[in-house]
Amino acid sequence: MAEVLVLVELNPTGEGVRKTTLEALTAARALGEPSAVVVGGPGAAAAAKAQLAEYGAQKVYVAESEEVDQYLVAPKAEVLAQLVTEKSPAAVVIPSSPEGKEIAGRLAIKTGSGFLTDVTDIAPDGTATQVAFAGATIVHSKVTVGTPIYTVRGNSVTPEPAPGAAEEEQVAVALSDAARATRVVDRVVEQKSSRPELTEASIVVSGGRGVASAENFSIIEGLADSLGAAVGASRAAVDSGYYPHTFQVGQTGKTVSPQLYIAVGISGAIQHRAGMQTSKTIVAVNKDPEAPIFELADFGVVGDLNTVVPQATEAINARK
């Protein structure tokens, strides 16, 4: 059966892999037998192996070296290019992330292939589904040359366990000078959150300008916590200083597609909609009955968020 390389995205905490890797492994099965590729520091594969086996990796290529994490993007692209040349896989599947897409692009140039980013589905004949124009248009695309490379959008494919042999094969890492062009001098965490990450969460509660202050964002957090959700913010809220930019959802922030998106005090301008309109279920709370967000919402409450949101939080917590 054809082999499909799947690049593993390790958890920054060092424990296991990100959910996006399990999604990529699942998607890759449409095209052949997935072989996971771990490119990381020494010991990276050991931390990932159990999950990779649980989600169908028949092989695990282990490309470990101190250097790999010291340089930006290019080392992973180089290792993958080496594997593409040696193993002639049917395809390469990479979890979508800023780094994942850059790796895919560089790999495409190295191997003379086409690539498709943010695919939500891959069919057995290689056709991929993508969403264009912030969700307005659904597109089917195909790579026409070389070894097809796909990056899989987070939260689009449901990870399905499958038995995998996860047989390890060591890959020697010998980085070229070109791969060592940009040094990663430091990785700084400024915001530690115990809440789920925005693009991985199945529920997102977002606050907009209507929340009116940074202090008042605590009611958004309260609702999010009652649902085990991630917290997001509209651009207007971020620009007003109510919440950090890292939580911004929208055209110049993150694009999310959770099961449930609750928009609180958000008018629903295109800038924001671009980041969330493909969410499966959308709920809105806004005091303005004409707010455009209601056009998108499956359920809307016209009312004062300062009353509605804490009441909802209390009701949800009472049901537990």
Partner 1 sequence: MDIVVLVKQVPDSGSERNLDPADNTVARGSADNVVNEIDEYAIEEALQLKEAHGGEVTLLTVGPDSAADAIRKALSMGADRAVHVVDDAIHGACAPQTSAILAAALQQMSFDIVLCGAESTDGQLSVMPALLAERLGIPQLSGARKLTVEGGVARVERQTDGGYWALEAPLPAIVSTWDTINEPRYPSFKGIMAAKKKPVEKKSLADLGIDPSTVGLATATSQVLDFAGRPPKGAGVKVTDEGDGAAKLVDFLATQKIV
Q: Which of residues 68-87 bind partner 1 (CB under 8 A)?
A: 72-74, 77
- Tell me if 181 contacts partner 1 by CB under 8 A: yes
The answer to whether 117 and 100 are in contact (CB under 8 A) is no
Residue type at position 205: V
Told to check if 105 binds partner 1 by CB under 8 A, we report yes
> Segment contacting partner 1 (CB under 8 A): 31-39, 154-162, 210-218, 290-298?
290-298
**Judged by CB, which is closer to partner 1: 168, or 200?**
200
Minimum distance of partner 1 from residue 35's CB (angstroms): 23
Give residues 218-237 in contact with partner 1 (rule: CB under 8 A).
227
Least separation, in Å, of the C-beta of 163 and partner 1?
29
User: Site size for partner 1, by CB under 8 A?
Assistant: 90
138 C-beta neighbours (distance < 10 Å), count? 12
Applying CB under 8 A, does 115 fall inside the site for partner 1? yes
Residue with tokens 């115990």: 194
Residues in the chain: 320
Q: Applying CB under 8 A, which part among 3-11, 35-43, 162-170, 301-309 lies near partner 1?
A: 301-309
For strands 121-122 and 59-64, give the pairing: unpaired
101 binds partner 1 (CB under 8 A): yes
Residues in region 10-69 near partner 1 by CB under 8 A: none
38-46, 55-63, 180-188, 210-218 -> range binding partner 1 (CB under 8 A) = 180-188
Q: Residues 189, 194, 215, 241: which binds partner 1 (CB under 8 A)?
A: 189
Count other Cβ atoms within 10 Å, centred on residue 143. Answer: 18
- Using the minimum distance from each CB to partner 1, give the nearer residue, 167 or 239: 239
58: Cβ–Cβ under 8 A, 6 or more apart, which residues? 33, 34, 35, 164, 165, 166, 167
In angstroms and rounded to an integer, the radius of gyration of the C-alpha atoms of the chain is 21
Among residues 2, 46, 50, 138, the one that binds partner 1 under rule CB under 8 A: 138
Q: CB neighbours of 193 closer than 8 A, spacing ≥ 6?
A: none
Residue 16 or residue 114: which is nearer to partner 1 going by CB?
A: 114
Closest CA to 316 of 196, 235, 222: 222
Cα–Cα distance measured from residue 54 to residue 261, given in angstroms and rounded to the nearest whole number: 30
> Which one among 42, 86, 88, 140 touches partner 1, defined by CB under 8 A?
140
Task: Please classify residue 172 by burial: count the beta carbons closer than 10 Å to its beta carbon, then call 0-12 exposed, 13-18 middle and 19+ buried.
Answer: exposed
- 131 touching partner 1, by CB under 8 A: yes
Neighbour-count burial of 216, counting CB atoms closer than 10 A to its CB (0-12 exposed, 13-18 middle, 19+ buried): middle
- CA-closest candidate to residue 53, choices 83, 77, 31, 21: 21
Hey, which residues between 251 and 270 contact partner 1 (CB under 8 A)?
Answer: 251-252, 259-260, 270
Q: H or E element: which one contains 99?
A: helix 98-111
- Supply the minimum distance, in Å, between the C-beta of residue 119 and partner 1: 11
132 touches partner 1 by CB under 8 A = yes
Q: Looking at 29-37, 84-92, 213-221, 309-317, which segment touches partner 1 (CB under 8 A)?
A: 309-317
Q: What phi and psi, each to the nearest 5 degrees, are found at residue 38? A: -105, 115
Give the DSSP H/E element, type plus range, for residue 63.
Answer: strand 59-64
Contact between 178 and partner 1 (CB under 8 A)? yes
What is the CA angle 160-41-188, rounded to 5? 90
The one among 1, 98, 124, 215 contacting partner 1 by CB under 8 A: 98
Contact residue for partner 1 among 108, 122, 233, 266 (CB under 8 A): 108
Q: Does 1 bind partner 1 (CB under 8 A)?
A: no
